[in-house]
Structure 1
Amino acid sequence: MSNGYGGGFDHSMGEGGFSNDNASSQGSAVRSSMTPVTIKQINDASQPIPDANFSVYNVELNMISFVGVLRKVDVQTSAVVLTVEDGSGSIELRKWINASVSTPEAEAEKYSNDINKYVHVGGALKEFQGKKNVQNVAVYSVTDHNQVLYHNLSAIENHLKKQGVTAKPKVKEGSDGGSLFVPETAGNSMEDRALQVIRQYSNTMLEGVPATFVAQKLNISPEQAKAYCDGLSDAGQVYIGTDDTSYICI
């Protein structure tokens, strides 16, 4: 398994993966066609007709990529099965082994150092024996945890675009006389005000807007701020940052 992450899909995937034997322009086309997703999106996806591409909430899933933690490696007769979970769900990845090239045991050994660590996965979403499975799968170690957050934000952005949600204009600090309350066109509840703070500062606080910062801006207790932020997270309006006390809004 490659230990690189950024640009990992530029390299040859070897047996069962993508190949860089084609022209670089073709490789770029493959990478650009990958849809960033969460495992929940994969598990919720369905096919309109047999053998058609999977889709979920207007997002077509063919060549996909996701980030998760490698939890289990199983050796089978002619394949290695990897179990990956990302907090939203889990999925099995089946890598078929060419007996003339290697053995399942040897291939499984390549992943031993990545168990309970983040990996980046790419491949084609298919169905195998009635279960969703990623074929032609490529798995890379994640060495920069910023890539985990970046991927999840990319998946959220792609999902919102497919729903027709466009980015709102950024509000300059102080442009409303110093008030961080939401405009009259939006709700004026404390959750709405917390959302406005998170939305305004997510662009500069890339690891997440702390609940304590929201509390300061709204002149409420940290406990109250976290409760409002958690409510926004449960409603899917914000995303948990690098820890469970910081929040991001696209």
Structure 2
Amino acid sequence: MMFSSSQFEATAPFSQSTQSAEPSSAAKSRGTEGLVPVTVKQLSEAYQSGDEKSNFQIDGADVTNVTLVGMVDQKVERVTDVTFALDDGTGRVECRRWINEGFDSKEMNDIQDGMYARVIGHLRGSQGGKQIAAFAVRPVLNFDEVTFHFIDCIHQHLLKSRSKVDATNQSKSAEDSNSTITSMGTQPTASGHVTAPSNEFSGQYSVGGLKSCDQKVLEYLQQNFSIEKGVHRDEISKQLKIPVDKIMEAIRTLEDEGLIYSTIDEYHYKSTTES
């Protein structure tokens, strides 16, 4: 299904800069995001806080893997790779999809100039600019996906902007609390924090606040990161000895967190990072 440029431009926010020039120290400490929905405009303003090998930062958070939606242009096929430009109405970015096996070729054969596509890949520097090393490219079949993508970009941007404000307020509140505790004769621990009460449900969660089932699914997909097509949900269920309905609940959570994504169909899934 094709869409007119007027339709597309009507859904393309971030045409003007909305990022702050310098992230706060609290924002820098949040670590690398999983899979971040972005616009080309945001990519053009992303910067590296250190040397050329350091991660790019968007909204004060390190970003490695990103997803974009836009119109494909200038597709060039070679034996080892396919390059093309992706235009989302806020700018253009070069994308490169390496061809390692038959699946890669088939995927890129479905992608042609003038059609809209979703690209998932690794953000990296290229000759002073930005390039996406794509590991998944698929055509957009419903224009609602374009609209939803930009809403998702706005949502993520607002969340991170609010996190910066919350981090500043929390830091101030922590200082005020420590002062109050000291005045009441209760001393904080060596780390400056008061020990939190135990939570009867804490055993259900592991690192990052994920439930144990979610963590098992994520770790299994990370261990099988080398499988290009991803792993079928039934295979995950079989190997982990967890019912399929529980596996799908975990998959939905991990997708929402940007930690995994679907590949060749809605049954195969792959982690965004390797273990």
Q: Which TM-score band (shorter chain)?
A: 0.3 to 0.5
> More helix per residue: 1 or 2?
2
